[in-house]
Structure formats: C-alpha cells, structure tokens
A and B are shown apart, each in its own frame.
Chain A
C-alpha cells in the first residue's frame, strides 16, 4: 500500500492505495464516484475520461499513485447541486445521448473546451471527442450540442 494525497472535485483525500489500483477504480470503488465509467480499460473508448489538473486524461490508463499531489475533476462536479451543466443540458436537448454510458467521458473530454469560452466550430468538437466512442447517437447530436453550448 502507498499513501497518496489527491484532490477530487475540490476535496482533499489522503488514502492508502495498492500501486496497481487504476485511478478509475479509486474513483468508483474507493470514493463511490460511479459517474466515471470503465469501458475497455485500454484507452480505446474514452468512457473513463476525467480531468487531471484541468486536462482530459484516461483514468483507466493512470495508476491512482500517479495522481498523488494532483487535482482530479469528475463528471459529478459538473452538477454539484443537481443543476445540469450547460453542456449536459445541450446534450439532452440535441439527442446527444441514448444509453448514456459514454456521456460522462464525452462531457469531461469537452468541458475544458466549452469552458475556455468563445464559440466552437463542429471540427473542434469532433477533434476533442475523436477518442470517445458512442454506439447510440452517431455523434451528430453530440457535435450540435457542443456548438450550441459554446454559444450560450
């Protein structure tokens, strides 16, 4: 076991973790933040995307020990009071999700882009989610939602 100190959604946690524990498993099993999904566990699907020091990363391709001293933001932080983030609302309005399994990863891949301010074109949205698989929507609704959320 190894002691780490990691900030998750603004709260500092000091925890003892086995080195082989993935960040995704720490979030889901250690901290009960099950919004983050694990799809492939090999970096191909993007469902486990979270922000590490503000940048999107794959939480299945990081050990929890690597996040020590750093700050993690998960999908739960987008709706702390139950009020949907503007991007989440736009996804709902544009049929940007169906089964919802990819949605937390999509949101976390896109949030830095949307929150950086300024209107986005569809190309920027497509590039940001190039590594996020969605088997329900065909992506069009997601791209439309990003473009609209960036203009709100």
Chain B
C-alpha cells in the first residue's frame, strides 16, 4: 500500500516550522526521522494532510551541554546520539532501538513524541528525570517526562507544539539498561517485551541514596516503580531488599497482553529484570 497524498512543507528555520504548525497543526504531522510515522502512513493507519519536515533545520540538530543539562534537539538522529550524547544510560538503551539503519534516521525527540509504550527512549528520559521542551508560536514550556507521557501514543503535546528538544540531567550515576524482546539469542532490533532503565546514586558507604526504575512495555506508557524506589532509598544493598523491591515493582506495573506475551509473563520479567538491575547497580 502507498501513503495517501499530503502537502509537504520543509521549513529551514525553527520559527518557520512553528508558524507552519500554528497554521496546520490540527491536520499536520511533524516528520523527523519518519521511522514510526512513515510505516503508519504506508499502512494508512496515519493519513496526515500536511507533513512538516523538520530535518532541514540546522538549529534543531545539536546536542548541547548547558547549566547541568544535556539538551538533545529534535533533529538529532539516534546514531548521532549513540556516538555523541555522553549519557551512559541513553547510549546503552539506544543499542536496543530498532536496527542500525533505523537509528541512522530515527530521532530521540520523535520517539518521545510518538510515545509507544514499549519504546526505550521515553523510559530512559523518565528514569533520569528528564524534561521535554515544547515550543510553539505561543512560547516555550518545559514539561517533566512524567507529565508529558499520558497513555498509548498520547502525550501532553498540543497540536501547534513542536517537541523541540529533550533535556537530561548531566551528572554521573550508576546505570543499568536491561531488555527482553521476542527474538531469542539477542535483544536488539525489536520493541521491548519488557525493558528496564535504572539509575542509582550511592553514598560513600555504598548505600543507595536514590534509585530510579523506569519500565517500557509494562503499562500504557513508560512508568516508574515509585514504591520499589521508596524501599531502596537510603537502604543498604542486600538480597532480601532486592527481592522486596522487585516484588513491589512487579505489583506496581499494569501490563497488557499481546501476541508475544501475557500480563503474567510481563510481571515475571519486571521482577527478574529488577533483581538483575539492582545487582548491577550495587556491584
């Protein structure tokens, strides 16, 4: 099948793109890497009347370190971020996103805006307490990831807004990224059955000061296991603690069934991946 006809706009500045979104937002889609949008258009699941291609806008193609944050623009492709972001949890997660040719086109902001509940990038952003920068002709706002992600493919973005950048705190934490996919013998190249993006701060004595656990594939959007995190905060790493936290995480998620796995198996994976991640974070 072929996509339905659409009007194609290729603005060369951010202001031009925002003006186009203000005019066409309701019936337009933003085209960045297109690695989720174009398959949907090929299958006619999506049929936007206008495409606003933002990949010719130089100012969106940068990774900037500013005021304790790493800011990744909407034009930054995943393969570029793999090489240049310097955010270890993100680098670890990107290996699991699609395949190399997909990552040569796909963007991080695109993945966050698309909000597939099984996608890795939103989970990383959530684990690291990242922010989403939304820009429109009305101005700019920064949204915590937890407020931005709403449900299946649904976010806090208004039709005239551009996901202009994502921001990640630029500080060293212990991190672990673990993923199980339908494909055996390797975990790259598929959407996650369950993925876990985890980060921890430890004090001089080795205790966990703070642990963040964010899961993909576990609910209608990427979610944090706050109860498990509360058990771990300030605690001495120990097997019984890990077991209690893993059980709490498994109880907190709300997975649905698909052709690959049912909710029970996904809960099982949440528990096991949590145990493994905590062992890695404590090592």
Interface set of A (CB-CB < 8 Å, partner B) = 2, 18-20, 22, 25, 41-43, 46, 49, 52, 55-58, 60-63, 65-66, 109, 126-128, 130-132
Contacts and interface: CB of A to CB of B under 8 A. Distances in A.
B105 A58 contact: yes
B38 A19 contact: no
Given A49-B101, A109-B100, A109-B101, A41 B1 contact: yes
A66 B79 contact: no
A41 B101 contact: no
Nearest to A19: B8
Interface in B180-205: 186, 188-189
B6 interface: yes
24 contacts: A18-B5, A20-B4, A41-B42, A42-B42, A43-B35, A43-B102, A46-B99, A49-B101, A55-B101, A55-B104, A56-B101, A56-B104, A58-B102, A60-B38, A63-B8, A66-B31, A109-B100, A109-B101, A130-B99, A130-B100, A130-B186, A130-B188, A131-B99, A131-B189
Interface in B19-59: 31, 34-35, 38-39, 41-43, 51, 53, 55
A63 B38 contact: yes
Residue with the greatest number of chain A CB neighbours at <10 A, chosen from B4, B41, B105: B105
Secondary structure at the A interface, as helix, strand, loop or mixed, is mixed
Nearest to A131: B99
Interface of B: 1-8, 10, 31, 34-35, 38-39, 41-43, 51, 53, 55, 79, 98-102, 104-105, 186, 188-189
B189 A57 contact: no
A46 B101 contact: yes
A149 B7 CA distance: 45
A56 B5 CA distance: 27
Given A20-B3, A130-B188, A57 B38 contact: no
Most buried by B among A126, A127, A130: A130
A127 B35 contact: no
A43 B188 contact: no
A46 to B, nearest CB: 7
A57 B101 contact: yes
B282 to A, nearest CB: 29
Contacts of A61: 34-35, 38-39, 102, 105
Given A41-B39, A42-B42, 14 more contacts: A19-B51, A42-B39, A43-B98, A46-B99, A49-B101, A52-B104, A56-B101, A60-B42, A61-B34, A109-B101, A128-B100, A130-B100, A131-B98, A131-B102
A142 B209 CA distance: 49
